[in-house]
A and B are shown apart, each in its own frame.
Chain A
C-alpha cells in the first residue's frame, strides 16, 4: 500500500529588509531593492546641482556614464523635518538615490500587511505596506515611489536645460579665449 506523500510544511516566506531612519522616523526597505549604500560625503564631488520647478526634494543629480541618478531628500519627500542626510541608498532598477539619516539594522520580515484602505492619498505610492516588528509597526517603502513619472519628466527637462546652459557657457568661454 502506498501512502500519500505527506504535504510539506510551507515555510513562511520571509524577506530581508533594511531598517533606516529619516528625520528620526523608522522605515523599512527590501534589501534586494538597495543596490549600493554610500556615505553622503562621498557623493559631494560627483553630484551636480539641479533645480526643477516645484520639486524641492531633488537638489542634486549623480551622473554615472549615460545614466543620471536623482538624489531624493527622504525628509522632504515624506514631509518631515529636514535633516542633512548622512547616507545614500542607490535604489535598484530606479533612477533614485535616497538620502537618509542612517541605517538602523538589517532584519527579516515574515509578513507584509497591505496599507489599510483608509490611507488613500500619496502614501499609497510611497509604501508597499506595513510590517509589525518587535511590537512596533514600520512602513515598508516602495523603491519606485520616490519619483513619479511626472516628476522624472520634470527632472529630465531640468537636466537638459542645465546641460544646454553649461555647453553655452563653455562655448562662450572658448570664444572669449
Chain B
C-alpha cells in the first residue's frame, strides 16, 4: 500500500473573504449563487442580515466576515448556500463571500482543544494553511442563545 492511498482525501470548498481563504466541507454546501435581493425585516439576532428567496425557499443570510476577519465586508460576489445542522434538523444558510470559490481535495487535520470553536480543522493547500470552518459555530442558532443564557446565570467570579 502506498502512502497516498492511506491519506483520507476529502472534498472542500475554498471560499474567499477579503484577502483570506477558508474551507468548508463540500458535504455541507448546497450551491453557490449570485447575490440577489436581501429582504430585511426587524429581528434581534446578530449577524443575520435578512433572507433571500432561492428556489421557493426562504434562506437566511448570515454575514460571518466580522467574526472571522474582525471587520464587516460590504462587497460580496456570491452567496455560498450551506447546510446548517440544528440537532436533527438541517436548514440552508447563505454566507456572503467576496471572491471565487474552488472545489479541492485535501486531507484535513482535526482541530485541537486550543483552536477557536469555529475551527473544525486545518488543511494545507497551495502553500497556505487554511481553517476549515465549523458552520454550526459561526452561524446563529438556538444553542447559542442557551449558552448565552447559561453564561448570564453563572455567578460572577469574586476576587
Task: Say whether A associates with B.
Answer: yes
A27 to B60, CA, bound (A): 17
Q: Does A25 contact B (CB under 8 A)?
A: yes
Considering only residues 96-142 of chain A, those with a C-beta below 8 Å from chain B are 113, 116-123, 126, 130, 132, 135-139
Interface size, B (range): 20 to 34
0/1 interface trace, chain B 39-52, chain A, CB 8 Å (1 if under): 10111110010010
Closest CB of chain A to B47's CB: distance in Å?
A: 9
Report the nearest A residue to B40, measured CB to CB.
Answer: A25
Q: Are B59 and A116 in contact (CB under 8 A)?
A: yes
A116 to B111, CA, bound (A): 29
Q: Are A135 and B62 in contact (CB under 8 A)?
A: no
A80/B42 contact (C-beta < 8 A), A120-B144, A120-B145, A137-B53 known: yes
Q: Are A123 and B142 in contact (CB under 8 A)?
A: no
Report the nearest A residue to B89, measured CB to CB.
Answer: A117
Q: Are B45 and A120 in contact (CB under 8 A)?
A: yes
Report the nearest A residue to B145, measured CB to CB.
Answer: A120
Q: Are A123 and B45 in contact (CB under 8 A)?
A: yes
Instruction: Choose among A79, A113, A118, A137 the residue with the greatest number of B CB atoms under 10 Å from its CB.
Output: A118
Q: Does A20 contact B (CB under 8 A)?
A: no
Closest CB of chain A to B80's CB: distance in Å?
A: 15
Question: Interface SS of chain A: helix, strand, loop or mixed?
Answer: mixed
Q: Are B58 and A130 in contact (CB under 8 A)?
A: yes
Closest CB of chain B to A50's CB: distance in Å?
A: 24
Considering only residues 22-60 of chain B, those with a C-beta below 8 Å from chain A are 39, 41-45, 48, 51, 53, 56-60
Interface size, A (range): 20 to 34
Closest CB of chain A to B2's CB: distance in Å?
A: 44
- Contacting residue for B51 out of A25, A116, A117, A122, CB 8 A: A116
A126 to B141, CA, bound (A): 17
Closest CB of chain B to A80's CB: distance in Å?
A: 6
A27 to B40, CA, bound (A): 11
Q: Are A132 and B93 in contact (CB under 8 A)?
A: no
Closest CB of chain A to B145's CB: distance in Å?
A: 5
Instruction: Choose among B43, B45, B58 the residue with the greatest number of A CB atoms under 10 Å from its CB.
Output: B43
Q: Which residues of B contact A132 (CB under 8 A)?
A: 53, 56, 58
A116 to B53, CA, bound (A): 12
Q: Are A136 and B84 in contact (CB under 8 A)?
A: no
Q: Are A123 and B44 in contact (CB under 8 A)?
A: yes
Q: Are A118 and B60 in contact (CB under 8 A)?
A: yes
Q: Are A118 and B53 in contact (CB under 8 A)?
A: no
Q: Are B45 and A118 in contact (CB under 8 A)?
A: yes
Q: Which residues of B contact A138 (CB under 8 A)?
A: 41
Report the nearest B residue to A111, measured CB to CB.
Answer: B56
Between-chain CB contacts (< 8 Å), 16 pairs: A25-B41, A80-B42, A113-B57, A116-B60, A117-B89, A118-B84, A118-B139, A118-B140, A119-B43, A119-B140, A120-B45, A121-B145, A123-B45, A126-B43, A136-B39, A137-B39
Beyond contacts A117-B89, A119-B140, A135-B53: 14 other A-B pairs, Cβ-Cβ < 8 A, are: A79-B44, A80-B42, A113-B58, A118-B48, A118-B91, A118-B139, A119-B43, A119-B60, A120-B140, A120-B141, A120-B144, A121-B145, A123-B45, A139-B41
